[in-house]
Structure formats: C-alpha cells, structure tokens
Amino acid sequence: MSAPFTALVVGPAEHGVTATALAQWELLRTDPGATLVRRGTRPAAAGVLAELAALPPGPLLVHVTDRLFGADADEAADVVVALAGGAGPARPLVVVLHDLPQPSDGPVNHPRRAAAYARVARAAARVVVASRHEERLLAACGVDVRCDVVPLPVPAFPPTGPADPAAALREVAVLGFLYPGKGHEQVLDALDVLPAPVGVTALGRPSDGHEDLVDDLVRRARERGRAFRVTGWVPDADLPGLLRSPLLPVAPHAHLSASGSINAWIGAGRRPLVPRSDYVAELLERAPGCVEVYDELAPALRAAWEDPARTWLDGPAGPTLAETVEQVRRVLAEAAGVAR
C-alpha cells in the first residue's frame, strides 16, 4: 500500500530535471495521499515549509539540481537542508540528485558543488541517483550514504509514421540546451570528414547566461566553411518527428553522469553517437546496442554517414517511465516506514 507523500517540483517545465519530476508526478498523482507543491522559480524554504505544514505527514520527494534551487551551490544546499530540518522527522526528505559534481566542473566550482551536494545528501533520509556512476561521484564528494539507483526513463514517444533507416542523412544534430562543455565545438571540428554542405543543428536553446555561445559557434562553423543552426526550444509535440528525421544524432558531452538527451534519441528509435565513458558503459549494460560508442568522433561520423542504418535501433529500449516510478514508490514507502 502506498503511503501519503508530497512531491515538491521546482523549475520551469522545459528544464530536463523539472520535466522528469513532472513526468513521474503524472503517474504518482493517483496514489493515495499524493500531494504536489509546485514552484516555477527558485523556492524560499520558509514559504514551502509553511505550505507543507498544512499537509498530512509523509515523505517529501524533491528532484534536486543546484541551479534550480539557488544562485550558487551553497545557496541551493541552504534551501534543501532547511527543508529537511524544518519539515521534521514526520516528513523525511527523499532527494533525487541530478548533475552530480565532478572534476570537469573546474578547480573552483567542483569543491564548492561537492560540499553543497554532500550537505544535501547528509540531510536527506533517502538519496536517489540515476546511475552507479553518479553514486560514485557522490561518494567522491566525501559523503558516505546509501543511494538508490533509479535510471532516467526512456520516453515513449507517439508514432510519427514509418521511418526509412536507409535514407541518406542530411546534417548532424545535437539535442538539448547549449552550454560550455556540451561538445558542439568538437562536432564542428570533426566535420571535415563529411561532405562540404553538411552542417550542425542544435536542437534546443542556449542555457540561461550562455546566449553568447551561439555567436561563437556560428563563427567557428563559418571559419570551417560550415553552417551552425539553432532551432530554439522544440515543443514536445514536434520532438519525436524531428528526432526521427534524417539527422545524424550525436551526444558529444564527455562528462555525463546521466542524460535525458541520450534517452530522448533512444526513445525515438535512434542510436546516437556518444563518447566512451563510465556512464555509457553502464547504459549499455542495461540496454545493449542502444548507442554507438566512439573513441574518436571523426571516424564515427564518417561511418554513420556512409551507413545511416547504424543510427537506428532494432527495437525499444528501457527503462520505461512506469518502471522507474515503481522504483520511486518503493523508496517512498521505505522512507515512510523510517518515519513511523
């Protein structure tokens, strides 16, 4: 039997973490005693606690990435820790951590983010991460807590009509927000192996504060005789058809700990090119053959361009949203047992 719980969902619906939390909520909302507290912008702990005080006791489920909860990692941790402390033992905090700190954050940001995530993990009754790789990253933050691994779901997109895996590809595409380190530069630099007209399309918009990156990438592409195009935000209804169009899918971020963008390609029946990493190895354990792993991008681009069928999956891959929500239900039930 499900125990009463409250889900706090923070951030704009287009943010990947928020979208995941809202998708889970759509299946959890029918559970007895399920309540949603929604904040579209960074929350103030006092306001959330005041709203929680009027609700029945039970676990508090929160998807956390520092950028949604504060201007910096310290402020974000302050908010989440205050929620844990103010809610009390009758409302154990279950945090689902995203965007775990790692050395690629840089010598200044990494220790700050690591300390903040460690504070959040220690304040929580239960900690959920999306991969064993993320579990190791959290341990590297200097915190020894039990983690439940609940992978990000592969979306079940509606059918868009038959696709032709043998159809010639027309350009290279990278899905998701644009920000430094995403890998667009590496894709542009590897285009020499493809026919001259072929460019790169970024399916998404720049992350807040990184709008100037577009001009830099357009300039970089022009210097190489190529084109770089940004679609802007892609509405959910248009995404499946776009992902199933004759694009060469690449997810070039080299420091992933989990990836909704990769899962979106997979959900559309595509096999994106991805750099080898611990997370990708884990992904392939769960769904063998779901991505095309490369050590060098240029040869991988050439091979996919010459054989477009390499970029298509033979069948569906998981886990489904329902499967991941069932794992979350188990964690919430166990957290409720701790509180009783």
Average pLDDT of the residues in 240-258: 92
Phi and psi dihedrals of 96, rounded to 5? -105, 105
Burial of 258 by CB count in 10 Å (0-12 exposed, 13-18 middle, 19+ buried)? buried
**265 membership: H or E segment, kind and range:** helix 260-267
Strands (E), 114-176: 126-129, 147-149, 171-175
pLDDT in tens, 48-70: 999 999 999 999 999 999 999 99
CB 15 within 8 A of CB 63: no
Residue 258's pLDDT band (boundaries 50, 70, 90)?
Answer: confident
CB 115 within 8 A of CB 72: no
44-60 burial code (b ≥16 CB/10 A, e <16): ebeebbeebeeeebbbb
Q: How far is CA 62 from CA 9, 22, 122, in A?
A: 6, 11, 15
pLDDT above 80: residue 3: no
Residue 340's pLDDT band (boundaries 50, 70, 90)?
Answer: very low
pLDDT on residue 159: 82
How far apart (Å, rounded) are the C-alpha atoms in residues 299 and 281? 20
pLDDT on residue 235: 92
Question: Could you tell me which residue, 162 or 284, shows the higher pLDDT?
Answer: 284
pLDDT in tens, 17-43: 999 999 999 999 999 999 999 999 999
Give the tokens for residue 13: 């619906």
Task: Count CA atoms closer than 13 A to 100's CA, side-chain side.
Answer: 30
Q: What share of the chain is helix, strand, coil (3-state, %, to 5)?
A: 40, 15, 40
CB 73 within 8 A of CB 113: yes
pLDDT in tens, 163-182: 888 899 999 999 999 999 89
Average pLDDT of the residues in 97-117: 95
What's the start-to-end Cα distance of the chain, in Å? 15
**10 membership: H or E segment, kind and range:** strand 5-10
pLDDT on residue 312: 96
pLDDT in tens, 180-239: 989 999 999 999 999 999 999 999 999 888 899 999 999 999 999 999 999 999 998 999
Residue 301's pLDDT band (boundaries 50, 70, 90)?
Answer: very high
Q: What is the mean pLDDT of the chain?
A: 94
pLDDT above 90: residue 328: yes
Average pLDDT of the residues in 89-97: 95
pLDDT above 70: residue 92: yes
pLDDT on residue 148: 98
pLDDT on residue 339: 44
Give the tokens for residue 11: 């951030």
Residue 2's pLDDT band (boundaries 50, 70, 90)?
Answer: low
How far apart (Å, rounded) are the C-alpha atoms in residues 87 and 13? 25
Question: Could you tell me which residue, 258 or 279, shows the higher pLDDT?
Answer: 279
Average pLDDT of the residues in 74-80: 97
What are the structural domains of the chain?
A: 5-153+321-339 (3.40.50.2000), 171-311 (3.40.50.2000)
Give the global pTM: 0.92
